[in-house]
Structure 1
């Protein structure tokens, strides 16, 4: 959610969108129980994710936050701005909802579109191929997007949210000197544990103060091997570039 877009510029509106998404239902149905429903910004294997809290599915909380932000329900089930900061009174909560032009993204967009509609947000799905999607993000005209990424280390947080990276790849507009200082200070500590602890603080502040993303799902890492491979252990790394390590096995035929 672009924090500079007036329609989602109020933190309470963005938090309401987070409360509108039933992540467990998505994980159980669209992904057949695989992976992990998530509301935070890092892979669950990382200690900087553990203990961090974020908005979870709660349509009542979503409705309350939207009302606090100045939205009222229209006769057609779509919210209308009444006293929303930066919005003309009478403006409907109707936005383009950017997503990728592939089957998985389409199904996920349709599921979340329906959930947003339940709280009065009309999200019009706009599918794009990846080159078009990326160029549009650089242009900065988005309000609500569906985005996926595969980098699963701690450094994804400053990459998407440090003011140094405005306007791209920090295309959601987060600009917070205190949080930027946490990312910078995290690079000066002597141990991985201290780095993770520092990132955990920044992670929670980012959610509490900005909430630019409403995360949905963490994909699993699936490893296939023939039946002669025995007792393989995938070991999560404490912090670094990836949340798993590779185990090399020599087999004698």
Structure 2
């Protein structure tokens, strides 16, 4: 559903009517728990990790990965018990965990990997494995990747949610329906049902006995059933937490934190963020075909004011496209994008956009009126309202369109957008390839950026890096060029806030992994 809006009611105000509602226990005797997915994970249309571009937290429970990544960026064995890279980077050998079975009863072994890697060919996720030339089965529990080129990002790729290993038998049998009607992995939970846009229900895999060392629990999960609900409005999700409809919120807007803490309604976990909230600029449509207009738009956004007013100082300002913990984010001075209202207005003057009596600029009789898309969750609607007001200060009239998470991607693909406020969750520099590669126009390349120099720098970073140090340098150069073209406006680097009801579920003190995923959920339990 699409709605047009120029006004927004704060989520905090919506909470006031429900703050004193009686809390009810949601944890049933059957050891069931309910999670509310964060805004950035809403709208997944499939649990096919090979072909999907949008996966959610339930994916990590259905599928295991060869490798797991911890919060400190270290890599740990999972379905692969050990690995070895040749000195020249041209072969990788992996020893596999014995005794592993898929949910359909099929064995996991080296033949599984040999069948799985080729399925990525022709998909949006093919870049994860494109450096692999061939897969050699050494023995039933040993696999070797013979490489086309060195891939210093190999372990990160294998730890990705998109590298969950599906059952070859089920994957082949179901074809295009795989991931929608059924999803079969080796993970600690099985898919019971999936209602797109509403909820996903998982049930425990009682045979599970091969978790990574990131979980204390090495056997079957302590929770028997988990329901992941999609609740676009965070104020509604919080009230569900208070009244027992939800046990865990996987994303809590910062303006709710003080309310939750003061009411003692839940326990809060704050983790370092792994993404950026930003505004992509569609470079293929007027007026944003003009780099001066794009630059003025970027300089109009006051990151500090947004951090203070929208996020109560929690998190960090964002001044480029990568999270600050990545070395590729450390770009040359002057390339970071920062608020400069005077320069923004001067750029628009130079570009021929003159202010009319109503304050809106115009050129050749056309007002500077643009479409500003956002998704229909509380945090992004509020952020978009602030962005709209800041754009008004440079004489740009931005009309907000609110869309659900599935519809908005369709609009991007149809090139119906000009500006948008959105976010991503990814802690690797190859996110630049995802959003700015000329091969991905429409979605995920929402900026509709197609440029020969850019694509050459992309190729160098993605495929010509032989070592980690070389990869960092190449991605930094690529990042700097993208910043110089003003394809987006960096806004905010979120912290990840998670809330849970301590009366219904227990959560381990230490969250393992860069995100709240299966490693931590395996050590949770329902409280009777």
TM > 0.5: yes
1:201 paired to 2:481:
no
> Does the aligned pair in 2 maintain the 1:153–1:243 contact within 8 Å?
no
1:32 paired to 2:312:
yes
Cα deviation, residue 59, structure 1: 0.6
Cα deviation, residue 224, structure 1: 8.4
* Structure 2 match to 1:174: 449
Which residue of 297, 313, 321 maps to 1:17? 297
Cα deviation, residue 228, structure 1: 9.2
Alignment of 1:139-178 (within 5 A): 139-178=414-453
Cα deviation, residue 177, structure 1: 1.8
Alignment of 1:44-59 (within 5 A): 44-52=324-332, 53-59=335-341
Distance 1:195 1:223, change over 3 A: farther
* Structure 2 match to 1:41: 321
> Does the aligned pair in 1 maintain the 2:413–2:441 contact within 8 Å?
no
Aligned equivalents of 1:107 and 1:223: distance in 2?
19
Aligned equivalents of 2:507 and 2:456: distance in 1?
50
Distance 1:228 1:41, change over 3 A: closer
Where 2:354 maps in the other structure, the secondary structure is: strand
Distance 1:116 1:159, change over 3 A: same
Aligned equivalents of 1:181 and 1:13: distance in 2?
25
* Deviation readout 1:159-179 (Å, 9 max, x if unpaired): 111112224322322112222
TM-score normalised over the length of structure 1: 0.83
Cα deviation, residue 221, structure 1: 3.6
Which residue of 374, 377, 389 maps to 1:99? 374
Unaligned regions of 5+ residues in structure 2, if any? 1-280, 501-505, 524-528
1:5 paired to 2:285:
yes
Distance 1:103 1:222, change over 3 A: closer
* Deviation readout 1:77-103 (Å, 9 max, x if unpaired): 00011xxxxxxx110001121111111
> Does the aligned pair in 2 maintain the 1:45–1:243 contact within 8 Å?
no
Aligned equivalents of 2:297 and 2:468: distance in 1?
34
* Structure 2 match to 1:67: 349
1:214 paired to 2:489:
yes
* Structure 2 match to 1:113: 388
* Deviating 4+ runs (over 3 angstroms): 221-229, 232-235
Aligned equivalents of 1:64 and 1:78: distance in 2?
15
* Deviation readout 1:110-160 (Å, 9 max, x if unpaired): 111111101100111111111111111111121111121112311111111
* Deviation readout 1:45-73 (Å, 9 max, x if unpaired): 10000134233111100001111111111
RMSD, aligned CA: 2.6
TM-score normalised over the length of structure 2: 0.41
Aligned equivalents of 1:35 and 1:180: distance in 2?
32
Aligned equivalents of 2:408 and 2:508: distance in 1?
44
From the two aligned structures, give the one with the greater strand fraction: 2
Where 2:327 maps in the other structure, the secondary structure is: coil
Aligned equivalents of 2:495 and 2:375: distance in 1?
20
Aligned equivalents of 1:33 and 1:170: distance in 2?
30
Matched positions, count: 233
From the two aligned structures, give the one with the greater helix fraction: 1
